[in-house]
Structure 1
Amino acid sequence: MTLGAEYGRPPQKREEIDLARISHYVHVPRRYWGRYLSATLIACFLIFLAVSFARGQIDWKVVAQFVMAKTILIGLGNTILMSVLAMALGVALGIVTAVMRLSTNPVLNSVARGYVWLFRGSPIILQLLLWFNLALIFPTLGIPGLFEYKTVDVMTPFLAALLGLGINQGAYTSEVVRAGLLSVDVGQYEAAKAVGMPRGLALRRIILPQAMRVIVPPIGNEFVGMIKLTSLASVIQFAEILHSAQSIYYANARVIELLIVAAIWYLVAVTVLSFLQARVERHYSKGAGRAAARQ
């Protein structure tokens, strides 16, 4: 549309007139005072922390001395091993429990619900202590007359930590897996049933692969949490990073220095695991954006 043509003047576009009207205004950039204030407060807090650590009674030479100590590295290895094994046990139990929760069998469904209720409802440190002191309830394990073992010899700190962390994790993982299975369109189940595919085969070949895009991110987050959760196993004398650091500072009284060493290795482990988690998530999210665009 043009203006001025009806008066014999050359036509002008509306945009040109609008620009002419506002050309005399001065452009004033917007001030983000909230950003400036929050950034200043955060910077002041970080400076305060840096000065506090610098002036504090921390011997950084001791931190450098023990950061690569053999005892600490053994604790790091035990932490990683326990995290992997406990998470593997938790994922296996979680998948089985999630399938049981979705089953129409009332017995299986009730057992799965009871398992989730029990182990999600009690503190993990309590579960670790119960497993470690299982000998007070069952003095021996095995089949009487065939083979029997003293529970106190079988239930080592390693096994107690594995059972406590893994079984507890399975209760949480089951809810993640169940949510992933429910996210798959019901038509996929019906299509597998229509071609005569058994339920178990359909879960392995069709349902679970599609649910992995929903399952992997929270499972990866749980894995990161498991790295830190292993520190609770120090109460039953499992030699992970924190327990190793404690065994050293009990001898040399360098508490803060050894705790900083433990914190460094936890941060390193979590950083590496977060990087691997991002790679796995990208792998399972391939094609998701294209599928959404087609819809």
Structure 2
Amino acid sequence: MTTTQAAALRAAATETEPAVRMRGLVKRYGGRAVVDGLDLEVGRGEVFALLGPNGAGKTTTIEILEGVRKRDGGDVSVLGADPGRAGRSWRARIGVVSQGEGAAQDLTVREILDHFSVYSATPRPTAELIAAVGLDEKAGTRVGRLSGGQRRRLAVALGVQGRPELVFLDEPTTGMDPVARRQFWELIRGLRADGTTVLLTTHYLDEAAELADRVGVVADGRLVEVAPPDELGAELRRTATVRWMEDGAPRTVRTEAPAAVLRDLLAVAGDVPGLTVTRPTLEDVYLSLVGAPSTTATQGDLR
């Protein structure tokens, strides 16, 4: 086999392996595991969202995958390399949008994007980036005068400027208004259409449902479930809650067969006051998975 043939085989293998793979990932602080044995694969071209409460280990996991934080255990592969040992050529293939703000305060939005474009072989045009993140009216404004939400938009533009194969987005829309968030969503859709892999963390359930092919819910450093957004908590979603008033008192039944309950109720009394049938929302499912009380949860079945 020639050197060229061997290189072609390695490239083909790389294209079929996951963009991100971790097995038994562990990170400890002061003896406490903030990431406690995470197993996860993210496919190439996939948009994957990590959900979880503050302190669940999401940001720590992202930083390990980016190669900026050391792990204490487990195996990790990002674009076929160990991020803890990968070099400059590997870093050129990833884009990072962190929660920090490190942009030069005295440069304008346009100037800072033009400045960093020279570090990329195939940068996105500055005007295209400015429009994509909704900063057209702020292109000539110094970074130090931008609002917090506008700085987040600039950080997103810098993170995707070099057309990376994989983009890490850590709570990218924090501080953005609804219009800016939707402009950001269009940017992510464009990245997906280009075949870019996106791994993002977010507190917004609607954002995960809108953008992600799959979501993973993290609680106490562990991955409790992975599924497409509309299949998350499938077992919980099968259960409906039937509520009505009977003799002046509220009654509640949780059941997988609400039609049968309704039939029985209507057979006894043709008019059932306060009758409602609801199923868990994505928020209810998420809160249940992370062990938080749901705003619509019942106190217990009455049958």
Normalised to the residue count of structure 1, the TM-score between the two structures is 0.20
Determine which structure has the larger strand proportion and give its number: 2
Kindly indicate whether structure 1 or structure 2 has the higher relative contact order, using CA contacts under 8 Å at least 6 residues apart: 1
Q: Which has the larger radius of gyration?
A: 1
Determine which structure has the larger helix proportion and give its number: 1
